[in-house]
Structure formats: structure tokens, C-alpha cells
Chains A and B, each alone.
Chain A
């Protein structure tokens, strides 16, 4: 069982690595075909062929190129959201967990408050205030995804801070700052890393959802979500337009989830078989 899992995780890791590599390389203009943004009215809505591996869209653009270009945004949004979530979440959770008592209660009620607000509503509001574009989406996603991490870190801190090695550190005269950064954080980090592998695909999916309902990017920028949204309208006649972007979304989300599962198994000694 365990062996099987690691095997899957390795494949998942490879897929993620390759997709990230493509996204990074493409931002340096690497595998762009001659049909990058050239809209050619002679090639509208062509089915996949040797020349256009994934076919072309309704403006005659090569879909493979669009998907590679879209991966830059989709993947970077995934990672950046995870970054924002971890920075805010870890700081918030660490303060709450370490301080304890009233401050802790107060801060946790704050999180409850955030939890109570519907995600989509917040994202739409932020989108309206900041304006549509990468920054707006990023902030919106970051804003709704840090609470989980914060709770996790706080819980870890609450259990760890009464452990003997912390008491020892305090007896040696270590400052609070040293205790948090040198002793508590490194020990609390493994579940956080696992949770990050779940935040990334969620963010990719959420960005796709936002773009799908038309709250995402403005053209000609694209992500997998906008591509899927455009393709969906021609579902019956040009299925390739929806097939490829959704396949990529599916692949990356599944890979991250598999990776996350395996990481959780390996890092948590209690569930180790």
C-alpha cells in the first residue's frame, strides 16, 4: 500500500515539476510556436492536427500555446496564494498560539469571523475594489485561504509550548523570539507544508472558477480558467476547446492532492504503516 502511494506521488511530483518547468521556460519565450498570439482568420476553430496539436480557438490562436501561456498564470497564482496564505497564516497562528489566553481567544474569534464570510462574495468584492487583473485575484485568493494555516500553526504551538524542550530553552534564558523561530516553528512546520500542497490546487481551482464566471482576467491575458470558460460555450461543436484546459486543471489538481496525501503520511509518524 505504502509503496504504491509513493510511486503515485513520484509521478505526481514529476508532472508538477514538468508543468512548472514549462510555465517558467515559456515566460522566457521558449516553446512558443509561430502562432503564439497571431490571430489568423484562416485557421478558426480547427480540430487538433499536426500543425496545431491542440487545435485552434475562435480567434484562430493555437490552443497549445494558449494553454502554456495560461499555465504561467494558473500555476503562479497557485504558488503565490500559498505563499501569502503561509506568511499571513503562520504569523497570525504563531502569535495567537504563543500568546495564549485572551489574545488567543480574541484572535481566534477573528478567524471565525473570516470563516463565516462566503468565499465567493469576498473574492467578488476584492475584485471590484482592486480591479480585475492578477493582483486583484491574488489578494482575493490570499484573503480567503490563510485561516486554515493559522489554525494549524496555533494548535501546534499550543501543544508544543508546554513541552519540556521549550521549558529547557526558557530556563537557559532564550528570548521569546528565539523560542518561536528556533524551537517552535521548525517543529510545527510539517503539517503546514502538507496543508500548503492542498492550498495550491484549491487556489488554481478557485482562480479557474473566478475566471470561468467572468470575474477573472481581461483579454488577451488568459489562464486555464478563462480558456475553459471560452471553450465551454462551444462544448457541443468544438469539444477540444474545453477538453484540453480542463484536462490540465484536472491533472495539476490531482497531482498536488496525491503529493499532499503522501507527504502527510510520511511526515506524520502516527499514521505510518
Chain B
């Protein structure tokens, strides 16, 4: 039996080679007129923007929908569905005035009631939206989402009339407008969702108000968007966007080289190719630093990481610059959670973040001189190529600098997320990308009540600092508060070890114009054009 299995391998390989050479030899026109072809990397788990959490879903939604505001190229908020807004009561009361001429793709006018419905639905415990925390600073929103309050009318969300939308906050958070530019807060249609229930995101059912509409969704193969004729602003010059779902990096890359994809990013770029393109100075290559921090988290209830000295020792034993040299995507070392250029970030310095001698001292003080008697422990990481490399370097750094051995264990992404939530491993690898260009999106993560704080670490001072900073109007004071909180998190208590910030690497064919990458890694294609 084993022999049969082995016998078939060469044939499979030969088949694979044949398919590949066939692909490589096939001559196709360089591009399709007015069509952008990109790779999503995987099937979007949900196109319901109240439930989506991942890049693949957001890439689709942010091109078919617009919210109250939208991001300009410099990531400032500009009016979108809302023509203007008033901020009253020292930043606790917002009134949005909607544009009169916006229509849904089925012809119905967009009203403030669509926003009221969408926001209430996002907060409804029955929706179980992962992004419900986005609106927690609205009056009574937290209690309603936790099921302690039943009446949705008590929420600080109200449509005054067809074109006026009112929001009351429980505290004057400085970054509220950013929230209205991101997918979870986009309007939704009550009649559509109630009529089709779970199938409302299928093509034909789904109605939207953005530059494109969803016309085709062939599962595990491709999504097709076409220009929305009833879009209120300038019509996009693209007629069609084809979003393929190719999980294999090298396959997607081969398709790009063969002119079957027009634009690819990290999802479709093998690391070695990034190197090659960067060095060749090819003008198809572009990169941008992202607001995305990858870190190691501890379960501070598990031995030996309940001891703060051990955690500090590990943090000081990692040469982050070396990690970045090995990862080769253009990562930058970071020893704090707030990445530059956000308010309150700290500059990285090797001397302060990498000190093996001090690390060994700390470890000895904790009772493990030269790593002796260090309990057996493991690091959990998701089964993905880039993370494997990172954790292998970590393993090596800890072995070399502290003489401790950490086993590496990986799990498939969904299983991994579940394990983190239900039974947090002693060490885990995670990365967090900013949802809005404000330090709060990072600092909020490790407050005691945040659902994404898997470290079991809870610190009242930290909670207070983050909460104070969120409402502080003066940027200088705000930065100081965030710096204090960041120091407490990454230098003093160390429930996490930030390692590096990420970068997006892209290849864009010369006939694609108008792709402007941003640090949030949101991809908007309404101003993209195709042609020589």
C-alpha cells in the first residue's frame, strides 16, 4: 500500500510540472480593458459588514460600501454619506447631516434610519458581532451589548429624520470620527436583511451604496464587482474588479508574472521574490510601513510566566533587529506597542530593548540561573509561513541568550483563535493591525474588559490611563498618557513582547494607475484606472 502511494507521487509531480509549464507558455493579452484582477488569498468568511473581521472580507466591503465618512489618502476623515456634521457638548454629541442624493444600488434613497438600524444591529447581542466594541463608547451601548439593557431606544443612536443622524457618547473619545469610516459602521438595509436572513449577502440580494456592486460570487474561486451606476460621486473608471481566491503564494505570483493578475501584495508574494524585486529596482515594486504590530503574548497565570522577572528577561533576550533582517518583508523592530508615526509612540533603541546580560541576571533572580530547571513550555503559533520563520528565530534567540528551550506548536488559524480564547497557551504569537489611525486601537487591546486580551493580565492603572487618554483633547497631554500606559505594558509588567511592525509589499503592473496604499492596509479601488 505504501508502495502504491509512493508510486503515484512521481506521476503527481510530473502532472504538476506539466500544468505549470502549460500555464507559463500560454500567451494571453497583457490586461483586460477596464478590469482589475487581484488576489484575495482566501474566501471571505462573511460579506456581512457587521460580522466580518478579516482583510479578505474588508477588501470587498470597502469597495462596495461607504460610511458616514471615508478616508482621504492621508488617512484623515472626509465627508462621504454625511455631507457635514456638528460636534456638540465638548465632543459627546454628534449630529450628522446626510447627503440628499445618495441611493442604494436598488434605487431606494439612503436614510438616517439605515444607519440607526445598522448600528443597533452591530450592538445587538443576537448579532454577536466581533466589532461591537467599536461602539461601546456610545451611551448605554455596553450594557445593551452585554444583554443587561433590553430596549434599543435607550441607546445613544437616533435618526432624527430621513437625513439627520444623531449619536450621543458616554465619554468624549477623540477618535470617534475614524470609527464612522470603517466597515462595521456602514449602513444596512433592514428590509433586505429581514427578507433574505442569512443569504442577504448573496449577489442579487445584496444592495450597497459604494462605487461598485457585487455581481458574482463563485465560492472558493472568484468574486466579481462591477461599477455602480447609481454611485453618488465620480464614477470609477474601472468597469469590473475580479477578486480571485488563490491561497498558494507561489501560484498567485506565477499568475502575476504571466499577466493574469494586475496587482498583488504580501498574500501573493513569496518572501524570496520580495527580496529579488526590491534589489532589482523594478518600478512595479512598492512597499509601505503598516500600522500593524506583531508580538508574543504570555498567559501570565501559567508558570513560569507568572513571574514578571521571567517575562522581562525574555523580552530583553530578543534581538529584534536580527528578527527583522531574517523576515525580509521590510519589517521594523519595535519594543513598544504603539507603532510610529502614531501619537505617543516611542522610538526604538537596540540598547534598551536587547540586553542578554541583564536578561540572564533577571532569569537568575527568578530562580533559573543559566536557564537551569526552567520548566518545559511551548509557544503556540498559527500555521502560516511567515509566522513559522518568526517563531523559529525566537526559539533560537531564547536558546542562545538564556539557554532555555521552548517547544513550537502550531494550529490551523480558526483552531488557534479558539485555543487563545479558551485555554491560552504559555506563550503565543499574535499580530494586531490598526482599525483606525489612532493609538487607542492598540492600547485598548490590553484593558481588562477587552475580549482580545488573552494574556489574563489586568491592571487598573493601565485601564485608567487608556481611558483618560481616549478622552483627552490636547494631543501633547494625550501622547504623554499613552506613553505612560505603553511603558507600563511593555517595560514594567510585560504581559506582551512587541517584536516588529509589518510592512505591505506590492507589485503593480505598469498599466494600473491610481493605487494609493495606506498604512491601515485598506484597499480602495474607486480611483484606479487601467491602460497604457
Binding site for B on A (CB under 8 A): 37-39, 41, 44-45, 58-60, 114-115, 119-120, 141, 144-145, 147-148, 198-199, 202-203, 205-206, 209, 214, 218-220, 233-238
Complex CA gap A145/B2 in Å reads 6
Q: Which residues of B contact A41 (CB under 8 A)?
A: 322, 325-326
Complex CA gap A140/B3 in Å reads 15
Given contacts A39-B396, A41-B322, A236-B272, contact A202 B3 (CB under 8 A): yes
Complex CA gap A240/B273 in Å reads 15
Nearest-neighbour CB distance to chain A for B248, whole angstroms, equals 10
Q: Which residues of A contact B275 (CB under 8 A)?
A: 237
24 A-B contacts (beta carbon < 8 Å)? A37-B396, A39-B393, A44-B326, A58-B389, A59-B326, A59-B389, A119-B4, A120-B5, A144-B1, A144-B2, A145-B1, A145-B2, A148-B1, A202-B5, A202-B6, A205-B9, A206-B6, A219-B388, A219-B391, A219-B408, A220-B395, A233-B249, A233-B385, A237-B275
With an 8 A cutoff between CB atoms, is B407 at the interface? Answer: yes
A sample of 10 more A-B contacts (CB under 8 A), given A59-B326, A148-B2, A198-B3, is: A44-B326, A59-B389, A119-B4, A141-B2, A202-B5, A209-B6, A218-B408, A218-B409, A220-B395, A234-B271
Q: Which residue of B lies closest to A44 (CB)?
A: B326
For B5, B322, B385, the residue with the greatest tally of chain A CB atoms inside 10 Å of its CB is B5
Pick the contact of B270: A115, A120, A218, A233 (CB < 8 A): A233
With an 8 A cutoff between CB atoms, is B276 at the interface? Answer: yes
Given contacts A41-B325, A234-B272, A237-B273, contact A205 B393 (CB under 8 A): no
Complex CA gap A238/B328 in Å reads 15
Q: Which residue of B lies closest to A45 (CB)?
A: B272
Q: Which residues of A contact B409 (CB under 8 A)?
A: 218
Q: Which residues of B contact A236 (CB under 8 A)?
A: 272-273
Binding site for A on B (CB under 8 A): 1-6, 9, 249-250, 270-273, 275-276, 322, 325-326, 328, 383, 385, 388-389, 391-393, 395-396, 400, 407-410
Q: Which residues of B contact A45 (CB under 8 A)?
A: 272
A119 touches B393 (CB 8 A): no
Complex CA gap A44/B4 in Å reads 39
B2 touches A206 (CB 8 A): yes
Complex CA gap A237/B273 in Å reads 7
Q: Which residue of A lies closest to B405 (CB)?
A: A220
Q: Which residues of A contact B388 (CB under 8 A)?
A: 219
Q: Which residues of B contact A144 (CB under 8 A)?
A: 1-2, 5
Given contacts A220-B395, A236-B272, contact A214 B383 (CB under 8 A): yes
Complex CA gap A87/B325 in Å reads 50
A119 touches B392 (CB 8 A): no
For B4, B276, B396, the residue with the greatest tally of chain A CB atoms inside 10 Å of its CB is B396
Q: Which residue of A lies closest to B391 (CB)?
A: A219
Q: Which residues of B contact A39 (CB under 8 A)?
A: 326, 393, 396
Complex CA gap A239/B385 in Å reads 18
Nearest-neighbour CB distance to chain A for B399, whole angstroms, equals 8
A238 touches B396 (CB 8 A): no
Pick the contact of B396: A148, A214, A218, A220 (CB < 8 A): A220
Q: Which residues of B contact A218 (CB under 8 A)?
A: 407-410
Complex CA gap A66/B480 in Å reads 49
Q: Which residues of A contact B4 (CB under 8 A)?
A: 119
Complex CA gap A262/B345 in Å reads 71
B326 touches A60 (CB 8 A): yes
Q: Which residue of A lies closest to B322 (CB)?
A: A41
Q: Which residues of B contact A38 (CB under 8 A)?
A: 400
Q: Which residues of B contact A58 (CB under 8 A)?
A: 271, 326, 389
Nearest-neighbour CB distance to chain A for B198, whole angstroms, equals 31
Complex CA gap A114/B4 in Å reads 14
Q: Which residues of B contact A114 (CB under 8 A)?
A: 1
Nearest-neighbour CB distance to chain A for B18, whole angstroms, equals 16
For A198, A202, A214, the residue with the greatest tally of chain B CB atoms inside 10 Å of its CB is A202
Q: Which residues of B contact A145 (CB under 8 A)?
A: 1-2
A233 touches B250 (CB 8 A): yes
Complex CA gap A134/B417 in Å reads 27
Q: Which residues of A contact B407 (CB under 8 A)?
A: 218
In order of increasing CB-CB distance, the 5 nearest A-B pairs are A237-B272, A234-B272, A145-B2, A119-B5, A41-B325
Pick the contact of A59: B272, B393, B410 (CB < 8 A): B393
For B3, B250, B385, the residue with the greatest tally of chain A CB atoms inside 10 Å of its CB is B3
Q: Which residues of A contact B249 (CB under 8 A)?
A: 233
Nearest-neighbour CB distance to chain A for B356, whole angstroms, equals 15
Q: Which residue of B lies closest to A233 (CB)?
A: B270
Complex CA gap A44/B325 in Å reads 9
Q: Which residue of B lies closest to A253 (CB)?
A: B6
Complex CA gap A219/B9 in Å reads 25
Given contacts A44-B326, A58-B389, A59-B389, contact A205 B6 (CB under 8 A): yes
Complex CA gap A203/B3 in Å reads 9
A219 touches B270 (CB 8 A): no
Nearest-neighbour CB distance to chain B for A188, whole angstroms, equals 20
Pick the contact of A209: B9, B391, B395 (CB < 8 A): B9
Complex CA gap A147/B2 in Å reads 9
Q: Which residues of B contact A206 (CB under 8 A)?
A: 2, 5-6
Pick the contact of B3: A60, A148, A214, A234 (CB < 8 A): A148
Complex CA gap A198/B6 in Å reads 11
Nearest-neighbour CB distance to chain B for A228, whole angstroms, equals 12
B272 touches A238 (CB 8 A): yes
Q: Which residues of B contact A235 (CB under 8 A)?
A: 250
A219 touches B395 (CB 8 A): yes
Nearest-neighbour CB distance to chain B for A74, whole angstroms, equals 14
Complex CA gap A198/B391 in Å reads 38
Complex CA gap A38/B393 in Å reads 11
Q: Which residues of A contact B272 (CB under 8 A)?
A: 45, 233-234, 236-238
Q: Which residue of A lies closest to B407 (CB)?
A: A218
Complex CA gap A34/B408 in Å reads 24
Q: Which residues of A contact B410 (CB under 8 A)?
A: 218
Complex CA gap A234/B389 in Å reads 14
Complex CA gap A1/B325 in Å reads 56
Complex CA gap A58/B383 in Å reads 18
A119 touches B326 (CB 8 A): no
Complex CA gap A233/B270 in Å reads 7
Complex CA gap A119/B8 in Å reads 12
Complex CA gap A58/B250 in Å reads 17
Q: Which residue of B lies closest to A117 (CB)?
A: B1
Nearest-neighbour CB distance to chain B for A133, whole angstroms, equals 10
B1 touches A119 (CB 8 A): yes
Complex CA gap A233/B389 in Å reads 13
Complex CA gap A214/B410 in Å reads 10
A219 touches B392 (CB 8 A): yes
Complex CA gap A153/B322 in Å reads 57
Q: Which residues of B contact A148 (CB under 8 A)?
A: 1-3
Q: Which residues of A contact B9 (CB under 8 A)?
A: 205, 209
Q: Which residues of B contact A234 (CB under 8 A)?
A: 270-272
Q: Which residues of A contact B383 (CB under 8 A)?
A: 214
Complex CA gap A119/B5 in Å reads 7
Q: Which residues of B contact A59 (CB under 8 A)?
A: 326, 389, 392-393, 396
Q: Which residues of A contact B385 (CB under 8 A)?
A: 233
Q: Which residues of A contact B5 (CB under 8 A)?
A: 119-120, 144, 202, 206, 209
